[in-house]
Structure 1
Amino acid sequence: MGAFKYAVILESDTPPSIMLGQNIGGGIVKELKEVDVQLVTAAHLARIYNLSVNTIRDRLISINQGTEGKSLYNPKLAHTLLTQKVRKGRPRVN
């Protein structure tokens, strides 16, 4: 019998703490690589962040990589823009 190959896909904000040569579940880690980022639609982001599609398009107009009808966004950049606090109005005076 030969050695079999198995692929495990992890999604995370930070890289996993897995080392080459590490024994995981009876197998040895031979290769680690980062997968290219896929672009996501405004509807997909609306489901994740519980916002309307129009709000997503308005907030992320600067990173739109699609057309007006088909808005496509990098999910990592979208996360940073959608989770930052937006301050409106005049600052408080003490």
Structure 2
Amino acid sequence: MGALQEYLIVVESNKPPHVTIGQNIGGAVVKELKEVEVKLVSAAQLAKIYNLSVNTIRDKLVSINQGTAGKCLYNPQLAHNVLTTKNQRGRPRAN
């Protein structure tokens, strides 16, 4: 047999995949698992994704801002959680 070669497979998901070290996948054995650091995104990028204005994004995400006052940067996973939760006010409607 020849020399072993390394291959890299990138997976994007909301939850980590169910893969274990030593598992045989497609004729290859898993040797290492790493979680990649999350890259921060700007308010403009989030505004494009969620169809909101940049000012609305900055107002809603002021608590998780990781940039400066001029350059607002956010963790996309935390931003998704904050922007998609519904705030219910008052008592529920009686039908």
TM-score over 0.5 for the alignment? yes
Show structure 1 runs of 4+ deviating over 3 A.
none
Q: Secondary structure at the match of 1:9?
A: coil
**TM alignment of 1:27-42, pairs within 5 A:** 27-42=28-43
**TM alignment of 1:59-70, pairs within 5 A:** 59-70=60-71
- What amino acid is the match of 1:73? Y
| Residues matched between the structures, number | 93
Q: Secondary structure at the match of 1:32?
A: coil
- What root-mean-square deviation, in Å, do the aligned CA atoms of Structure 1 and Structure 2 show? 1.6
Structure 1-normalised TM-score?
0.86
- What amino acid is the match of 1:10? V
Residue 36 (structure 2) pairs with residue 23 (structure 1): no
| Unaligned ranges ≥5, structure 2 | none
**Equivalent in the alignment of 1:80:** 81
The offset of 1:92, in angstroms, is: 4.2
| Unaligned ranges ≥5, structure 1 | none
